[in-house]
Every structure is written in C-alpha cells, then in structure tokens.
Structure 1
Amino acid sequence: MTSTCLITGASSGIGRELALHYAANGWTVYAVARSADKLDELSKNAGIHALPLDLTDNTALQSTALNMLEQGVVLDLLLLNAGTCEYVDAYDLNLAAFERTFAINFHAVVAATKYFMPLLKASLAPQLAIVSSMVHFFPFTRSQAYGASKAAVSYFTDSLRVDLAGSGISVHLIEPGFVDTPLTQKNDFSMPFLVSVGDAAERIYSGLLRGKSRIRFPRRLSVMLKLLSMLPYNLRNSVATRMKQQ
C-alpha cells in the first residue's frame, strides 16, 4: 500500500527536495505552496500532486483540508516545512516584518496542524513533523523576528508531543542548521557547516523513517551552539556581541 504525505513550502528549497525525495521512494505527495507555477512544474514528477495554497489564509486552509477529508485522503505524514526569514534593525524594529515572519513561521504551522491533523487519524503509523531551526539556541544579530518565531515553533512542537502522547500520532521536531536554499543564498554573512539541500532532505527522510523525535543537523553546528548556550549568561552575551562585530 502506498504511503501518503503532505509537505508545505514545497515550491523551493528543503520542501521541494523533500517532495522529490518522497516521490522517488514511492510515496504519494501533496505538495503545498503559494506558487502555482512552481508547483505545476514540480507535479510533472510522478507521484506529486500540486496543492496551491496560502497557509496564512485560515479559511482556505480549512476548506482544503475538509475537501481532502471528504475525498477520503489519508495522510501518513504531515510535514510542515514552509518558512521565511527577515532580518530587522534593532534601532527601528519593523513591526510588519515581525508580523510576516510569525504569520508563516508560527501561526501557519499552528493552523496547518489544526486543520490537517484529522487526515492523519486513519493512518496506521501517522507522523507529524515540523521544521524549526537551531537559530533559537543562541542570540544572533538582526535575528529577533526569525529566531523568536523558530523558538515558538520548537516549543509548540515539544508541547504538542506531550499532549498527543497515546494518540497514535508521533510528533517530530526538525531543527536544521544552515542549508543551501534560495532563502539562505540571500545571506551576506558566513554560514558555518553549510549543507546541501539534497543532504538535508536525506537526513530528514532517514530520521523520520527511524522515528527520531528530534532531528538536528549538522552535528558539528549543533554541538557548537549547545556549548555556547551553556556559557555563563554574561559571557554568552559578550560572545554574541563579538560575533556581531566580525
């Protein structure tokens, strides 16, 4: 029997690569993104179905989920990957940037969980996987909006796992480091231990296949950030400030 997944943020980057990876491994993939043109191109690959959708539109999100439920679609994996990043100026905080970032990085994750989770219930081994980031381990310059949104996502996912224990739905938190995607290619700073999008997709795929509750990569960056986070608070702040100045 063919397994089925729904992947958000599938028009580019990690989401697109994951859609291709799952389809190549025999899954039926519902690829979700706002860009209909990019999804149409992606859906030329066998096993991938385009699902153009604005995840910040709760009405459209609910309607799409209900239609799929009425059609008898059963998801074995709901993989919420869509995200964005905007850097801000601490001396003139852009409130609209915060609203946009939280809208897609956090509020859309909560809404997608609410409306698509019923599609998991009929699966024999349902998985809910949510992509966050390691950015919230350490205070990086200009990352107030992005880092805060990802901290919220990680907490939401861990808390959700507690309350869904015993439901049959396994909850998985994915916290990548720097991945070479169109989003990170806009960065104007050094990105240590950068991994390719293909490598990232393989790590996520294999981690979920093994049922890992938390998938972090690359390991070297994870260890480095964890060590930095363990520094005495004032020393950690000094290190973060020096890193900003480099």
Structure 2
Amino acid sequence: MSVQVIERAVAILDAVAAAEGAPCRLREIVLRTGLNRATAYRIVRTLVDQGLLAMGQDKRSYYLGLTFLTLGATASNRSHLRELARPSLLRLAGQFGDSFFLFVPDGYDVVCLDICDGDYPVRSYTRGIGGRVPLGLGQASIAILARMSRAEQDEIISHNLPVLEKEYGIERERLLNELRQVINSGFARGTGSRVLPEYTGLGKAVMDRNNRAVAAISCCVLSSRLSESKREQMKSQLSEEALIIERGANPLDPMIGRASINLASSMLT
C-alpha cells in the first residue's frame, strides 16, 4: 500500500468523523476530501471491509466502524490517563458547571481524550473526543507547550505558526508571551483567537516523573461567566485535580509519593 493511499484513507476517515455521528454520503466524502468519486468509493469499500467504516441501512451512507472502539480502548488502556482523569473532570464540571477537557500531546498537535460538560456546555476548537488542535491553540495545548524544551518549542511554533496566524489570528509574540506567563503562574489562559473570541478558560499541565507534560486538563468558559473570584477557585481546583492525576500516573515517583504522604499526614492531624 502506497503512502498516497494511506493519506487518502485517513482523509476519508477524517471526513466521516467530521460528520459527528451523522450519516456521511459518498458525495460529502468527495466534497470534503477533493478525491474523485471512483477513487473515494474504492477506498471507502476497503475501509468498510476492514471494519474502519460501517455502512448505513440505506447502503449509501457511512459511519465510523466499531473497529475504532477497539483501537480507542487499546490506546486508552495503554496510558490509563483517560480513566485516571475522568473523576477529576466530572468533579470540576459538577462544581463549576462548565466544560472540562483532557488533552494529550501527539506530534505537532494535542488530541482530546475526554470531555465532561456541566450545565453550561460550550463550543470548543476540538469537535469532540478524538479531535485534534495544533499546539499553540487553546489553554490545554499552551499548558503542554510551555513545559517543553526550548528546542521543541521552536520547532513546533515554526511548524504551526502559519496555521495559527492564518486561521486563528495568533501571532508569534502573543504566543511566546503566553508561554512565559504559564511558567510564571503555572496556568495557561490561552491567547484568544478570532474564531471563538467570546470564550476563555484555563489550562493546567499534568506532569510525569521526568517533569514532562504528558497531558493537560482545561476548561472552556464564556468570558461573561468567568469572574476573577471564579478564576481563582478554578486555579485551586485544577491544581488539586492535576496532582491527583499525577499521583495515579506516577505511583512510584518519590516526589509525588512524598506529596501523597504529606497530604495523608495532614488529614490525620
């Protein structure tokens, strides 16, 4: 199988996923991918045979196949991050009523592993679980990017900046200022963009035993709902929940273990 065929297959899967569970007809796949109808149909049929796509009852529409559930479960079980973070996201969404997210880094992007909506669900850059956004866009990705080495940051920013500038109106200096702010405060506020100007939020990195960001938890909030007092409460709770996830992900880490022991001691006194 050639690299071009793989790229076309991935483009078709992305097109079907973009329908967010609605039936996706072949003409829509052709429109979204730019492939000619014969090529698209041939690849679609192969993806159906492999279980990556499922055909609707009308025999003319397509959905993501059940194979993705198996692949997703395998990816999730490998890191356990989604299972570890789920209770934290539920607590945060229940307490504040807003939407909370778990993101992990993947190449030049971050991928959404989980979402918990409160009473005030919002739009976000990711279309849902499994959605990707470029590093440098949104609170979670900036929280992760800020914890990378300078060399990694330079490479990622150089790669992603054309998209960040053209599609979202995010300039290099604004992004660099926010990265510096994260190091000083521990929290990402996001750079804002012209795509979702009415939203704001916070992001907090989840670190491993080698002090690398393996994930980030974040919230997306209507600006009108984020008062200064609520922002401070969110910072406190995000810090607590990030530490809980870190303890679960790094049970043998001596520093995190020491924090757990100190917390237990304080609860007993």
Superposition TM-score, scaled by structure 2 size: 0.29
In terms of Rg, which structure is larger?
2
Superposition TM-score, scaled by structure 1 size: 0.31
More helix by share: 2
Higher RCO (Cα < 8 Å, 6 or more apart): 1
